[in-house]
Amino acid sequence: MARALVASWFQNELTIPVNCSHDYNLPNYVNANTLVIASSYSGETEETIAAVNEAKQKTASIIAVCSGGKLAEFCKQNNYECILIPGGNPPRAQLAFSLVQLTHILVSLGLIDKQRLSEFKSASELLIEYTNHIQEKSKELARFIYKKDLIIYTEAKDEAIAIRARQQFNENSKILCLHNVIPEMNHNELLGWMGAKPESAVLLMHTGQLYPQNKKRFDFSASVFETKTKHIFELEAKGTSIIDESLFLINIIDWASYYLALKNNVDPIDITILNKLKKSLLN
């Protein structure tokens, strides 16, 4: 998740392509001129370990960000750089460590402005300033989502935030939900709303100024949603940078997923089914 956020934050600043891979295999174009940044909080993610072994075979450069595990050992054995972050917690609760270190790598390589790192300090100050607002809004959002079918929409540039939101509601609140982006959803999913049910709930999220045509698309789409459901919730980010705004929305979402877990009477930390999956993969 951290890599998708960082890639989206700096897509208009980076002058080289950045691809986020979530599979066992790397794209065929990876070669000796490619930098592979392996990001796995536990350092045990099966597909990440497979990918770095392939990267080694392709003689790519490798930098890892993890809390230890097989990934750290792989880097030690092969003399690759590895940035260690604090371990021992659920990965979703340690997002900030990965975000800062992935950004640090891009700064160190001269790919983005070094001032980008200072934006994390301003984001921290913003979150402290709006602590009460974030708590109130997150509780309101949890009440809004409770016992409804959630669909999340953002502008395409903010899709990583929507993915984080969907994953948090999956992992913490133990609910299924969907996400899509504008303008893409206007070409297909908007028609699906002709068959929507009244219990559908829409969460609209924004950072910065909407692209003018997307503003029209959001407004039109909302008018369609309103013909099928009365449950529409809008979150608008606060802050002066994309990092500020992203972390502001993520904090509201994270807390909302926790409060929704309490309402659903489920343990937000429980990952029993994921552990069963990992065990099954060993057979």
Q: Which residues are catalytic?
A: 171, 187, 278
SS3 50: helix
Q: Is 162 exposed, middle or buried (0-12, 13-18, 19+ CB in 10 A)?
A: buried
User: Closest by alpha carbon to 104, among 90, 94, 118?
Assistant: 118
Name the DSSP class of 282: T
> Is the C-alpha dihedral spanning 76, 78, 81, 83 positive or negative?
negative
Q: What are phi and psi of 152, to 5 degrees?
A: -110, 135
Q: Give every CB contact of residue 9 below 8 A, 6+ residues apart in sequence.
A: 103, 242, 243, 246
The encoded tokens of residue 8 equal: 């989206």
User: Closest by alpha carbon to 242, among 211, 215, 207?
Assistant: 207
CA separation (Å) from 7 to 3, 112, 223?
6, 11, 32
Q: Which residue's structure tokens are 């980008």? A: 116
Number of Cβ within 10 Å of residue 267's Cβ equals: 12
DSSP string, 195-233: G--TTEEEEEEE-SPPPHHHHHHHHHHHHHHTTT-S-EE
Q: Give every CB contact of residue 187 below 8 A, 6+ residues apart in sequence.
A: none
